[in-house]
Amino acid sequence: MESTQYIAALSALAHDGRLEIYRLLVQAGPAGLTVGEIGDALAMPGATLSFHLSQLKHAGLVAARRDGRRLIQTANFERMNALVAYLTENCCGGQACAPVCEPACAPAASVPRRAQKRARA
């Protein structure tokens, strides 16, 4: 994933309406929500919602599958994980840094879990 992809993902999330849409989809999980359901939940005009969904899709944070005449939108969890990993890449120069940046960069850190627990205490 390229640097510009991360910028796209962050830009997509850096908007009140879009962040709400995204969080709604994260909470909905793999089952997803239709465009209409999202519009109702957030009281957002169709054109505006469609614009924001397209931004989220362009950033790879949201995907859609068709179900009859509705489109079911779902969050792309892999993209989210990649973004978090990128932000915390080589955190603290790669040293054991658990007390500083736990939990966000723990998955990226190449430190055994036992060592992290010890450092945290």
Partner DNA sequence: TCCATATTTCTAGAATAATGGAAATAAAGA
Partner DNA sequence: TCTTTATTTCCATTATTCTAGAAATATGGA
By CB under 7 A, name the binding residues for DNA. Answer: 11, 15-17, 34-36, 39, 44-55, 64, 66, 68-71
Integer Cα distance of 1 and 7 in angstroms: 11
3-state secondary structure of 92: helix
CA angle 21, 56, 61 (to 5 degrees): 95
Interface segment toward a second copy; rule CB under 8 A; list 41-49, 50-58, 62-70, 75-83 = 75-83
Rule CB under 8 A: is residue 11 a binding residue for a second copy?
yes
Q: How many CB atoms lie within 10 A of CB 50?
A: 14
From the list a second copy, DNA, none, pick the one residue 28 interacts with, judged by a Cβ distance below 5 to 8 Å according to partner type: a second copy
Integer Cα distance of 68 and 90 in angstroms: 45
Contact residues for 107 (Cβ-Cβ < 8 A; gap 6+): 81, 84, 85
Closer residue to a second copy, CB minimum distance, 48 or 81:
81
Rule CB under 8 A: is residue 45 a binding residue for a second copy?
no
From the list a second copy, DNA, none, pick the one residue 103 interacts with, judged by a Cβ distance below 5 to 8 Å according to partner type: a second copy
Both structure tokens of 50: 């469609």
Rule CB under 8 A: is residue 110 a binding residue for a second copy?
no
Closer residue to a second copy, CB minimum distance, 43 or 68:
43
